[in-house]
Amino acid sequence: MPLNKAKSYLEDVLAHKQAIPFTRFCRGVGRTAQAKNRHSNGQGRWPVKSAKFILDLLKNAESNAEVCSNL
């Protein structure tokens, strides 16, 4: 997935506009209409802490790539 798409997807997860589908460890996870669009079982959530952490990692990697390309 391109960087811009990944960042916008994670920002949508933080804003509760798109859910992340849970397929493996999904016992007790409720169904949501947003997850039906991406996976057949419809189980999904909006993991805020994980989305923030990965979004920060992506921003850090982007800034590191910009610095390395300028050298």
Structural domains of the chain, with CATH: 3-70 (3.90.470.10)
How many Å apart are CA 70 and CA 30, to the nearest integer? 47
Q: How far from chain centre, in Å, is Cα 64?
A: 21
Quick check: 70 pLDDT over 80? no
| 50 CB neighbour count, 10 Å cutoff | 13
Residue 19 is given by DSSP the state: P
Which pLDDT does position 24 carry in this prediction? 85
Task: Write the pLDDT tens digit of every residue in 6-60.
Answer: 999 999 999 999 998 888 888 888 888 888 887 678 888 999 999 999 999 999 9
